[in-house]
Amino acid sequence: MKCMLIGLGQAGGKITDRFIEYDKGGRATSIYTGVAINSARVDLVGLKNIPERNRVLIGETIVKGHGVGADNRLGAEIARKDMARIMSAVAQAGTENVDAFIIVSSMGGGTGSGSAPIVAKYLKKTYSENVYVLGVLPADNEGGIYLLNAARSLKTLSKYVDAMILVDNGVFLNPGDSLKEAYLKINNEIVKRFDVLFRAGEIVSQDHIPELVVDASEIANTINGMEICTIGYASEKPPKKNTLGLSSLLGKKTEAKQDKASRVLQLVTGAVKSHLLLPCDFRYVRKALVVVAGPPEELSRVGMENSKEWLETTIKGKEVRGGDYPAPGSDYIAVCVLISGITGSKKINDIFERAKDMQEIIAKGMTEEEYERLKETARLMGDIDSLPLDED
C-alpha cells in the first residue's frame, strides 16, 4: 500500500522520518511519502529523511517557532489557521499514487494531538482515499496533562478518521529506561512492525507472487469504521536448512511441513496474546488481518489457515483475513496481526477517566495531589447517610 505519512508534532515527525529512512534502506520498492508539520522549528530541523520542501512550520506568528508546550487546544488553533499551507504541502508532496493517508502523531503532546483531527477533516474533504491515524498514547506514568490531551484528541479524531490504529508507549518501556532513552528504540520497533503490514501488498519480484495479497482494500475492509485498532507482532529466525539432504526423504518432508505450519500458528498466537501494541483483551475484537512475511519456503499455507481458524474462534467477530509477503533471502519470518473494533480497552478507559479528573483539577486550580486528597475524603463521605432535612 502506498502511504502518505503526515507526521504531526515531535513524535509524529520522528516516527515518519524513521519510516522514510526504513523505506530507503535497500527495499525493492518505495511505499512511503513523508510530510512533517510542527510548530517547533527545532523539531523540524532535526529531521533527516523527510525532504525539506515537505516540512511545514505552523503557527509562527503566534508561537514564533517555539512550539505550543503541551497545550493541544493551541495546537488545534494554529493548525486551523495554517490549514491552507498544510494542505498545499500535502498536495505538492504528490498524492497521485497514494492509497491511504496516515497521520502519525503522539496523542499526548500539543501540536500533533491538537492538529490531528483538523488535518484529518481536511484530508477527508479533499481526497477520496482513506485517512487513518497512527496514534502513540502516553505511557501510564506520564503526567495527567498528556492524558487529557490524548482524551480530547481521541474523542475528536474518531469523528474524522476512517480508523485509529493505536500504540501505547508503555508497551515498549522497560523499568529503569528513561522515556528519552527509549524513544529511538520505540520508534524503530513501531516502524518495523507497521512496515510488515503496509508493505505486504507490494510485489517484490515476478518470481515470488504472494498467494494471498494484502492490499489497501484488505486493510480498509478490516479497519474502516472500526474505530480503535492496533497490531500485534512476532518474529523468529527459522532454523537453517538441512544440508545433508535427509529432508528429501518423504517422512522428513512431512515433518518439515508440519513444523512450518506450527511455527506460523505459534507466531500468530504469540503476536495476539502477548505482543499487542495497545494492551487490550484480544477476544473483544471485531475483525482481524494476518500478514505473514518471510522467505517464500517458510510461508506455510496450512499455518495461515490454522491461524485464521484460531482467530475466528477466538475473537468476538468472525471476519478474519490473511495474506502473505514473500521476502526472498530474508532471515526472519515475521507476523503482523491487525485487529480492529476493539472494545473496553483498559488503557483507553483509564485515559478517559484520568482525563476527566485532570479537567476538574484544572477547573479547581488544584495540584494533582490536592485533588487526590479531596477525592479520598469525598469517597469516604459518600458512605455516610445524610441528616434528614425539610423538603425544599
Cell of 82: 495554517
Spatial neighbors of 134 by CB under 8 A, at least 6 apart, are 15, 102, 103, 104, 105, 165, 167, 190, 194
Subset of 129-188 contacting ligand GDP (CB under 6 A):
136, 138, 142, 146, 169, 179, 183, 186-187
Which C-beta is closer to ligand GDP: that of 3 or that of 148?
148
Which of Mg ion, ligand GDP, none interacts with 142 (beta carbon under 5 to 8 A by kind)?
ligand GDP
Cell of 106: 503522539
Q: What does the alpha-carbon distance between residue 34 and residue 51 come to, in Å, rounded to a whole number?
A: 8
Q: How far is the CB of 15 from ligand GDP (least distance, A)?
A: 6
Residue 111 in contact with ligand GDP, rule: CB under 6 A? yes
Which of Mg ion, ligand GDP, none interacts with 138 (beta carbon under 5 to 8 A by kind)?
ligand GDP
Residue 235 in contact with ligand GDP, rule: CB under 6 A? no
* Contact set with Mg ion (CB under 5 A): 10
Spatial neighbors of 230 by CB under 8 A, at least 6 apart, are 165, 166, 167, 276, 277, 278, 280, 338, 339, 342
Residue with cell 487490550: 280
* Contact string (CB under 6 A) for ligand GDP, positions 49-88, x = contact: ------------------x---------------------
Q: Left (φ > 0), alpha (ψ -120 to 50) or beta: where does 377 sit?
A: alpha
Residue 110 in contact with ligand GDP, rule: CB under 6 A? yes
Which C-beta is closer to ligand GDP: that of 142 or that of 259?
142
Task: List the end-to-end C-alpha distance of the chain, in Å, as a whole number.
Answer: 66
Q: How far is the CB of 285 from ligand GDP (least distance, A)?
A: 23
Which of Mg ion, ligand GDP, none interacts with 341 (beta carbon under 5 to 8 A by kind)?
none
Q: How far is the CB of 113 from Mg ion (least distance, A)?
A: 11
Which of ligand GDP, Mg ion, none interacts with 153 (beta carbon under 5 to 8 A by kind)?
none
Cell of 287: 475483525
Q: How far is the CB of 391 from ligand GDP (least distance, A)?
A: 50
- Phi, psi of 245, deg, nearest 5: 80, 5
Cell of 20: 522514510
Residue 353 CA, chain-centre distance (Å), reads 22
Paired with 104 in beta bridges are 7, 134
Contact between 320 and 311 under an 8 Å Cβ cutoff? The reply is yes
Q: What does the alpha-carbon distance between residue 289 and residue 216 come to, in Å, rounded to a whole number?
A: 12
Which one among 5, 11, 56, 229 touches ligand GDP, defined by CB under 6 A? Answer: 11
Number of residues that bind ligand GDP (CB under 6 A): 20
Which C-beta is closer to ligand GDP: that of 155 or that of 318?
155
Binding site for ligand GDP (CB under 6 A): 9-11, 14, 67, 106, 108-112, 136, 138, 142, 146, 169, 179, 183, 186-187
